[in-house]
Amino acid sequence: MTNRSVPTTGDLVAGALKGRRLDVGGFVLVVGLLLALLISMIVLVTLIADMIQQGLPVLAERGWAFVSTPLSPDAHDAGIVQGIMGSLGLMLFVVVIAFPVGVASAIYLEEYAPDTRLTRFIVANVRNLAGVPSIVYGLLGLAIFVKLLGGITGGRTLISGGLTLAILVLPIMIITASEALRAVPMAIREAAFGVGATRWEVIRYQVLPVATPAILTGTVLTIARAFGESAPLLLSGAVLSLFFASPSGATLWDFVAHEKYTALPIIVFNWARQPQKEFVALTAAAIVVLLAILLLVNATAIVLRDRFERRT
């Protein structure tokens, strides 16, 4: 080109800004990330679809009766009412024991404990405990609650199972509550101390109200975790086949402290092992009920959190 004109500032800026390069690396990365996500989604969707497809006929045919009738060796009559009762009873233990003990431990660790090597050691080990396989807690439950304390718990009862599950989720409870407390801004604590509050008054009136939504959400999710556990219950005394309904006249205390018990995941485990073809559909139906309850629990957690957050 002979007629070389002097480029204007506009031309230079346009040249610098417009040259779009193909970002191959970035593209590959995004596709990879999306694939990773897809794998887990596909597995989940397949699982749920498969269960619903197999279990739906049973649920459609039996309806509410499937949920409200007791276990039976006869696949046409078998229901899961003892499993639901057992699981609800276990959850009650988890809430009553793990919630107060977990929150109290978290309050101590976050608000009172001096930052010493011992404290850090304890915190690290609480995190380790949360990662211990649940079967190990089952063995612990068998050794302590069924055998050692059998006189108090009644051996293989709901009490033993409930205590085992409570111990199992306690570390998770402590961690979630600790994180909820740690998320409360330091400025709020300083403000409360500044007007002459004692440490407990600061916690009771300012820190806990702010941390409550997160603690409750964590608690509900922890319960959901316990709800799905089967291995520790198998060891600490849940029975696989519970064919007899409680004798009439049995009190709630009998149900808790003397009766054999089972739980929903145990029923799933047991039915899945049965050779008869009918039990395949029953297993799927029980899983659908289990998933539905878990979904309900998680939804409760979300509603709770939203309600509390809107209040402040």
Binding track over 157-196 against other proteins, x by CB under 8 A: ----------------------------x-xxxxxxxxxx
Cβ proximity to other proteins, 123 vs 149, nearer residue: 123
- Residue 46 binds to other proteins (criterion: CB under 8 A): no
Task: Compute the least distance from the CB of residue 198 to other proteins, in Å.
Answer: 5
Q: Which amino acid is at 185?
A: P
Distance CA 51, CA 281 (A): 8
Out of 56, 101, 139, 197, which residue is the one contacting other proteins (CB under 8 A)? Answer: 197
Question: By CB under 8 A, is residue 310 in contact with other proteins?
Answer: no
Which residues have CB under 8 Å from 50's CB, separation 6+? 284
| CB 309, CB 229: distance < 8 Å | no
Kindly state whether residue 312 participates in binding other proteins, applying the rule CB under 8 A: yes
C-alpha closest to that of 308 among 144, 180, 199: 180
Q: Which of 69, 81, 127, 206 binds other proteins (CB under 8 A)?
A: 206
**Alpha-helix runs per DSSP H in 206-277:** 208-227, 231-235, 252-257, 264-273
CB nearer to other proteins: give 77 or 190.
190
By CB atoms closer than 10 A (0-12, 13-18, 19+), residue 21 is exposed
Q: How many CB atoms lie within 10 A of CB 135?
A: 14
Please state the closest distance from residue 194 (CB atom) to other proteins, in A: 4
Provide, rounded to whole angstroms, the least separation between the CB of residue 158 and other proteins.
40
For other proteins, the binding residues in 58-117 under the rule CB under 8 A are: 114-115
Contacts with other proteins, residue ranges (CB under 8 A): 114-115, 185, 187-198, 201, 205-206, 209-210, 312
